[in-house]
Amino acid sequence: MNVFTTQRPAPKRLHSTGHARVRALSVLFCGVLVFAQVSYAQESGDDGSLTDVMVSDPGGSPDVSTSPDSGQLPGVPADDATPMPLVLPTSTPVPLSAADIAARASGSIVQVLTPNGAAGSGVKVSGGIITNEHVVRGVTAVQVIAADGRKANASVVNTDYAADLALLVSDLDLPAMDMESATQLRQGDELLVLGYARPDVIGGQASLSRGLVSAVRQDKDGRLWVQTDAAMNHGDSGGPVLSTRGKLIGVVSFGLVDSQGLNFAVASDTIQAFLGVPWAVRQPPTPTPIPTPTMTPRQRDCAAVASSIPLITSTVQSAATAQAANDYQRLRALASDLRSRTYPTLILPVVNAVLRVLDAAAASAEIRANWPLLVLTASRDPSGNGAYLIAAAQIDLNQDDALAANAQADVSSAIVQLQTTCGK
């Protein structure tokens, strides 16, 4: 009998070479990473990066170590190294809108009221409140009103008649407005004007207007003036003129009469010079008497005509209203009043033509006013002549209307002749 003995195989053990391979791959991978970091640091050349590694000694103080293949101390750039410039981000200033400028400036402007009834505007600067000399002329104290309604008394501490500037001092707490030189302005630059225009009519919030720099002019004494086409009205005097950067470049002063868009502001440079003068109220210079020009007889006659124009104009307007209402009595009263006055010789043709218009218009208005009664009378005429009566009245009406039209044409011709004679 064969007995077969089965031998259990010995248990297999993992071969040690497998672990060795894993460890070898890990070391190789870490080496690749270190090499890549060192290569990046050497290529970048940026101090404070991975180029240099500081080793601390046991005492905790940093030791000096060298960089591979550099021959330089770590943290110390080579002699021929060019440092990278520091580039900071830049931003472009956002231009201010007119609304932004007005909102910023409103807290610095005031309305100026004087005891003698004059009114103007003012603006707070570092030395006080600037306004015009002509606004506060003849007074030593005024009232100032801020945009938020606060009121305070102010003293007039300095004036300059020639520059049309005055300095006020008040306890009213207002932010001072920054100034910039008007010499920086270019012809065509935009500017803004703020002021309490026509307080007798509108009142309330300050008015804002926009215009262009027409010119920056200098007078014979060296004072600068900003010429602009921006609207300036009574009550704006002393108000700020602002650049598009929101800075004060002048204060409103005056505009040339019988002109359009020829307005002037005292330039900020002149204001700055005025603020540097010690406080001492200056007296206006004694005005030089202006000789009365000699007028020719024709010039005197034309000047006298001007006093009669308002009466003629008022009479014509009243006559038009009365004629529309067929008020013949009013028309005759106007004619009677016109005949009772005396007139310069040059305007007599106009007056006589207007009188002919009034007479003809009164006659036709009387017929029209009584027309219903005329028709009723004609219908009750027992002789049967009513139709002839109506026809005769119609003829008279047509003639009076024609006379009035012809006289009106004479008025127009006489006015043209008068304008030609007097040059107006």
Nearest-CA neighbor of 163 among 259, 267, 90, 73?
267
Q: What pLDDT does 14 receive? A: 43
Cβ distance 162 to 223 under 8 Å? Answer: yes
For residues 314 and 266, state if they share a domain: no
pLDDT tens readout for residues 218-258? 999 999 999 999 999 999 999 999 999 999 999 999 988 77
For residues 305 and 409, state if they share a domain: yes
**Domain, as residue range, for 127:** 98-275
Q: What pLDDT does 56 receive? A: 39
Q: Is residue 72 part of a domain?
A: no
> Counting runs of H as helices and runs of E as strands, what totals does the chain give?
9, 14
Q: What is the pTM of this model?
A: 0.47
For residues 110 and 216, state if they share a domain: yes
For residues 127 and 171, state if they share a domain: yes
pLDDT tens readout for residues 50-76? 334 333 344 444 443 444 444 444 444
Positions in the chain short of pLDDT 70: 1-95, 277-293, 423-424
Residues 6+ apart with CB under 8 A from 66: 72, 73, 74
Q: Is residue 234 part of a domain?
A: yes
Q: What pLDDT does 258 receive? A: 77
For residues 150 and 247, state if they share a domain: yes
Nearest-CA neighbor of 191 among 246, 269, 267, 234?
246
How distant is the alpha carbon of residue 400 from its chain centre? 56
Domain count, the chain: 2
For residues 229 and 122, state if they share a domain: yes
Q: What pLDDT does 57 receive? A: 42
Q: What pLDDT does 24 receive? A: 53
For residues 115 and 206, state if they share a domain: yes
For residues 403 and 305, state if they share a domain: yes
Q: What pLDDT does 20 receive? A: 52
Q: Is residue 55 part of a domain?
A: no
For residues 269 and 356, state if they share a domain: no
Work out the burial of residue 279: count CB atoms within 10 Å of its CB; fewer than 13 is exposed, 13-18 middle, 19 or more buried: exposed
Residue whose tokens read 């050349």: 45
For residues 247 and 103, state if they share a domain: yes
For residues 156 and 266, state if they share a domain: yes
Q: Is residue 152 part of a domain?
A: yes
For residues 252 and 352, state if they share a domain: no
